[in-house]
Structure 1
Amino acid sequence: MSIDIQERISKLTQELNEYNYQYYVLANSVISDYDFDQKLKELEGLEAAYPQYMDPNSPTQKVGGDITQKFSTVRHRWPMMSLGNTYNEQELREFDERVRKVVGDQVQYVCELKFDGLSISITYENGRLLRAVTRGDGTQGDDVTNNVKTIRSVPHQLDKADYPSLFEIRGEIFMHRAAFERLNKQRETNGEQTYANPRNFASGTIKLQDPKEVAKRPLDCFLYFLYAENRNRLFDSHWDSIQAVKSWGFQICEHTTLCHHIDEILAFVNYWDEARHQLSYDIDGIVIKVNDYAQQEELGFTAKSPRWAISYKYKAERVETALKSITYQVGRTGAVTPVANLKPVLLAGTTVKRASLHNANEIARLDLHEGDTVYVEKGGEIIPKIIGVNNAKRAVGTSPIVYPVVCPECGAPLIRQEGEAVHYCPNEEGCKPQIVGKLQHFIGRKMMDIQGMGDETIETFYKLGLLRKIADIYTLKDHRDRLKTLERFGDKSIENMLMGIEFSKNKPFEKVLFSLGIRHVGETIARKLAQHFKTIERMALASVEEIANVQDIGGRIAESVHTYLHDEHHILEIAKLQAAGLCFEVEEQEVVLAGHSLEGKTFLISGVFTDFSREELAQLIESHGGKMVSSISAKLNYLVAGDKMGPSKLAKAEKLHVPIISDKDILNMINQQN
């Protein structure tokens, strides 16, 4: 049973990470919002019940996906987090109950339409538009300032008003349906690729390299959230801030509403379930936010989303269409994914031609036969899913779909490990999609971040025989003359690429380890392994049990790492990368603290403070050796309490006799030992 649970967690983690990458990076939707959220909830439940199997790189612990390689990267000053989702009234009521349990019954909510577009963060300095950055991976995004400046509803310069000298405003870039239909029709007439829906058109447009081309496509933007230093001193609530933002000249949605209890929220949700079809743009739900800023701070955040907000999503639409055929795609890890090719059908305003079937179990569950009439579902702009078969329309004598036994790319016999739903091609040394996929993974932004190389470049070099192994990237400098004969490879682009390859040698061990593409080893796992073993040699000498004993590393990951490091092809590859100058050991750095007066003490911050933000106070504590924790327990040394602290935390601290101190007490504790 534990093996089945562990494998299910692993499978869900891999699936959801891939869906995030497709959605956020490629503007490509492969699963409906509803099905994604159901899988995410299942994973959250399993991780809560079996935390020993949780992958630190789990989609429940991060936001979104990776960023593109077309624009310069900017780190968000305030992370762009995602929201928790729900699809029913009961879960909304439970959200309200959780909020009231922490902050009391005096609570208001702001209800907003959930726009179906592209999230954007825009920074203004002295009233002038300074920078516009996409969500990216939630931590950093693409600088698309020049493109955003083409949107007529986004002001370049604000009139004089009482706005902060520096602030960020968050919003959603979208395209009205009429503009989408007109532009798509033009593209079809011109023989150009059409877009599936307004959201994809807006996303594709904002990532164009030429702002002049962006200006030809009418984008729009609603702004809905303000960030600034000491924002709580400017406004008491989210509602106050968006009214101010409107007065500064920003476009906010006229339908945003202030609600005082859950029944008002539900009335708003139900009204827009019908009225949304009368809007000129797409929405796929409602966002509900606690209004009071102090209460927001008291409620805090999970690893990926605020506890003071939730997204209610409307359910998907469903149609019938014919299953024409099934094709099979091979990924970087060798996983073989079936894809249903459908008779084109209009669904939720877009034409659907394909749907993912995930694995052999899904095909068996649906009992798919050749030529079946199937039910297809999708919410808003998302990629569809086959949810069932209309057996009444099944032709007599049709054969059930039989999953292949050999790789569709290289012909190698497929394998299916015990407890897994996915079939794999084991021919990683000779199967093109796996080779190309590993190379593309290696050069990626969160991996080795090799500037001047992209997925198309990898494909080209593979076809020419220049790349077969990762180590071949570091021999490209020996092929300068041949590179100069290729189309679209001028002297400058070649030198930029070779410089990017050379710079990648400075990446730390943890990045190199992540870039190798070891199965089950994500960014966080790679960092933990590198920090524990310090060198690749020590890691290779460790047994499966020794690897599994590293914090957050389970048996499945340990087995994968051990197998990889003892494969003769991988041993040779690592030796070549070491010879090329890549780093395979941790460079230790000494951490210097401002002081040690709080060393060995744990702290939790709650409420609002006059002289510090909570972040500043936390940094001050940590810089003097203190440790921040996220919950109250008998082991907590101090609760640092400010104004408007939640009643539940206060009651628990008093019950456990935890000392309650102020920010001034912290300063006294530091100064006394200085």
Structure 2
Amino acid sequence: IIYENGLLTTGSTRGNGIIGENITNNIKTLKNVPDNIKSNNNSLIDIRGEVYCPLDQFHNFNKERESQGLQPYSNPRNTASGSLRQLDPEITANRPLDIFIYAIATNNGIHEYQTHSETLDWLKTQGFSINEHRKVVTSVMEISDYYAYWTEMRNSLNYDTDGIVIKVNSYQKQSILGSVAREPRWAIAYKYPAKTEITKLIQIGINVGRTGSLNPFAELEPITIGGVTVKNATLHNYDDILKKDIRVNDFVYIRRSGHVIPQILGPVLERRTGNEQIFTMPTKCPACTSQIYKYSDDVNYYCINSECPDQFENHIIHFVSKNCMDIRGLGEETIRSLIRSNLLNTPADLYELTFDQVIALEGFKQISTNNLLASIQDSKQRPLYSLISALGIKFVGSEVSSILSRNINNIFDLFEMKESELTTFPGIGEKIALSICSYFSNQNNRYQITRFNRLGLNTDSNNIEKQSNSLLGLTFVITGRLANHTRSDFESIINSNGGKVTNNVSSVTNYLITGEDPGSKLVKAKELDVKIITEQELLEML
């Protein structure tokens, strides 16, 4: 949450750590986020926090939905996340949301404190909600006692929590400790033990993933774990089911892995009655009845029908996701509605949707319709690696997509590339190269990409970096709003030329790259006599 000259100007999600979503209007609906704070002229402050659903309000909200004949929401975590990303602020305002503020990331001209605890105290005076259970301790024993206390008492809280965070209080010591990649050495999360419960496995079902993989899951007798009702759990793959000897009608040990994903640990053998049934994988796809196939080097089974309806739905969900084309407001229900209405038969159809088509969908009004169409248009300018990742090529995630993008001029270069050429790229082996070649040799896939280009999607890499060792051994920090490139652009440039990017200025920092409103990192760089350069000066170093 950014305040400029004391006024709230920007609210955004964490996103991928570099680019998030603009949720300013939604943030302004939260009662514990003030519209203005005390400030000096030309001040800028970047405040970090987490929005959550208080448990009592969440349960009341679900009761109200059920009384209206609506489906209740599954858990507070997803409800908070989904509510905050709504296109219509009025919807967010009617959701039971609250917020805890836990840090200041950038501070320029408002206050200067020496410790994290003093900063939190100051934030509280400005009207922010700060967790009342925070505590300053002076020994490891006190940390251990604090952890043990909340391990036992966490269920007394009006919100879900999966652990505590331990931070070094002194900012000076935080600076000395620094960070490794994006992980600060001065803070660590200490998770509570996952709760294990017993329930009955009623049936084993199959989901068809976007790549055609058949993913088994357990249908369970509903059980509450950590305040969340669990009805389904992952079973990973068929080999894992056999290894754990999990059977239909078994009583099983279950826990929420990371307090998020329900996971079956194994059967309760002493409760077997003889009525348990050994599970076998189907021979045909449950979605389209096509024959399934198993590759010799893969534990998964696959439906290889490219027109399988379940594959397509999951492919679209992947295509619009945050790490791909990042289309806000296009949730799973909306995707299903578009498919049922025969408006969405390929990913490219998204870019030909009209106002009249979208507003006719359930739950859409004028503002949300305009916002969705604007989000679809904005996604056309995503970098090439986002589009490559969105295609859903087997073994090609965001990292491989980034490698490909840095080594080609445009996506059409991949149409003619051979496996031997692809394996010369760092990080791409024979299996990945074969998958890429197979994808781009398919005429339907080529047509889709040509259509993307015709509809105005960015298909060029826009590479501006040179591959060299000109920055070898140098450490950079980036601060402020960059004018001509994104932070991810510069991270790629620096890494590709032998340098390293860190988050905090320290004694080992060689250069600080500054944009507009650089904040406290600039002050720190001057104190440590770190050389300060502009975007253009970095490019001139290559």
TM-score by length of 2: 0.77
User: What is the letter of the counterpart of residue 317 of structure 1?
Assistant: K
| 1:554 alignment counterpart | 429
**Change over 3 Å in CA distance of 1:301–1:448 after alignment to 2:** same
Q: Which of 515, 530, 533 pairs up with 2:405?
A: 530
**CA distance 1:537–1:206, change in 2 (3 Å):** closer
- 2:30 maps to amino acid: I
- One-letter amino acid of the structure 2 residue matched with residue 603 of structure 1: L
Q: 1: distance between equivalents of 2:305 and 2:291?
A: 9
CA distance in 2, matches of 1:484, 1:128: 35
Please report how far the alpha carbon of residue 346 of structure 1 lies from its aligned counterpart in structure 2 after TM superposition: 2.5
Q: CA deviation at 1:547?
A: 0.6
Query: Does 1:247 find its partner at 2:122?
Result: no
1:386 pairs with 2:252: no
Give the SS at the match of 1:553: coil
SS at 2:196's partner residue?
strand
Partner of 2:20: 141
Give ranges in structure 2 of 5+ residues lacking alignment. Answer: 478-486, 512-526
Give secondary structure in 2 for the equivalent of 1:298. helix
Separation of aligned partners in 2, 1:169 and 1:245: 9
Question: Quick one: distance in 2 between partners of 1:496 and 1:254?
Answer: 37
User: Structure 1 stretch 203-212 or stretch 384-393: which is displaced more?
Assistant: 203-212
Change (3 A) 1:170 1:453: closer
* Distance of aligned partners of 1:163 and 1:342 in 2 relative to their CA distance in 1, 3 Å threshold: farther
Residue in structure 2 matched with residue 298 of structure 1 by the alignment: 176
Contact 1:315 1:379 in 2 (8 A): no
For residues 406 and 91 of structure 2, what CA distance do their matches in structure 1 show? 47
Q: Which residue in the other structure is 2:419 paired with?
A: 544
Instruction: Tell me what 1:434 maps to.
Output: 311
Structure 1 distance, partners of 2:369, 2:6, is 41
The number of aligned residues is: 500
Secondary structure at the counterpart of residue 388 of structure 1: strand
Of 129-138 and 496-505, deviating more is 496-505
- Residue in 2 that maps onto 1:157: 36
Residue 401 of structure 2 aligns with an amino acid whose one-letter code is A
The correspondence for 1:399, drawn from 271, 274, 277, is 277
After superposition, what is the alpha-carbon deviation per residue over 1:219-252, rounded to whole angstroms, capped at 9, x for unaligned? 3322221123458982222123223223333332
> Shift in Å at residue 193 of structure 1?
2.2
Give the structure 2 partner of residue 330 of structure 1.
208
Aligned equivalents of 2:153, 2:270: Cα separation in 1: 35
Question: How far off is 1:192 after superposition?
Answer: 2.5
Q: Which has the higher contact order (CA 8 A, sep 6+)?
A: 1
1:288 Cα deviation from its structure 2 partner: 0.6
- Please point out which of 191, 213, 217 is paired with 1:339: 217
Segments of 5+ residues of structure 1 without an aligned counterpart are 1-121, 592-597, 607-615, 632-637, 643-660
- Equivalent residues in 2 for 1:630-669, closer than 5 Å: 663=529
| 3-state SS in 2 of match to 1:258 | coil
- Alpha-carbon distance in 1 for matches of 2:446, 2:422: 18
Match of 2:55 in 1: 177
Q: Hey, what does 2:71 align to over in structure 1?
A: 193
| Cα distance, 1:483–1:285 mapped onto 2, change above 3 Å | closer
Equivalence for 2:474: 603
State which of 157, 164, 167 in structure 2 corresponds to 1:279: 157
8 Å Cα contact 1:314/1:379 also seen in 2: no
Q: 1:427 Cα deviation (Å)?
A: 1.1
Give, in angstroms, the shift of residue 471 of structure 1. 5.1
> Are the aligned partners of 2:254 and 2:263 in contact in 1 as well (CA < 8 Å)?
yes
Secondary structure in 1 matching 2:241: helix
The answer to whether the 8 A contact 2:39-2:110 is kept is no
**What residue identity is the alignment partner of 1:127?**
G
Whether contact under 8 Å (1:509, 1:530) holds in the other structure is yes
Is the 8 Å Cα contact of residues 252 and 267 (structure 2) preserved in structure 1? Answer: yes
- Match in the other structure for 2:484: none
Change (3 A) 1:423 1:178: same
TM-score normalised by the chain length of structure 1:
0.63
Contact 1:150 1:215 in 2 (8 A): yes
State which structure, 1 or 2, has the greater radius of gyration over its C-alpha atoms. Answer: 1
For 1:526, the aligned partner's letter is S
AA of the residue aligned to 1:663: D
Equivalent position of 1:62 in the other structure: none
Aligned to 2:288: 410
- State how far apart, in whole Å, the 2-side matches of 1:497 and 1:426 are: 32
Identity of aligned residues (%): 34
1:29 counterpart residue number: none
- C-alpha change, 1:231 and 1:452, in structure 2 (3 Å) is closer
- Among 284, 299, 312, the residue aligned to 1:421: 299
Alpha-carbon separation, structure 2, partners of 1:503 and 1:150? 25
The reply on whether 1:307 has 2:185 as its aligned counterpart is yes
Find the aligned partners of 1:381 and 1:227 in 2 and give their Cα distance.
27
Q: How big is the shift at 1:483?
A: 5.3
Q: Check conservation: 2:32, 2:127, Cα contact below 8 A.
A: no
Distance 2:356 2:277 in 1: 51
Cα deviations across residues 369-415 of structure 1 (Å, max 9, x unaligned)?
Answer: 22111122126852422212122222224321112222111122222
Shift of 1:259: 2.3
Q: CA deviation at 1:309?
A: 1.0
Residue 126 of structure 1 contacts residue 165 of structure 1 at CA under 8 Å; is this kept in 2?
A: yes
- Tell me, in whole angstroms, the C-alpha distance in 2 between the residues paired with 1:286 and 1:453: 34
Match of 1:23 in 2: none
CA drift of 1:312 comes to 0.6
Would you say the 8 A contact 2:381–2:457 is kept in 1? Answer: yes
SS at 2:151 equivalent: helix
Give the partner amino acid of 1:192: L
2:242 aligned counterpart, secondary structure: helix
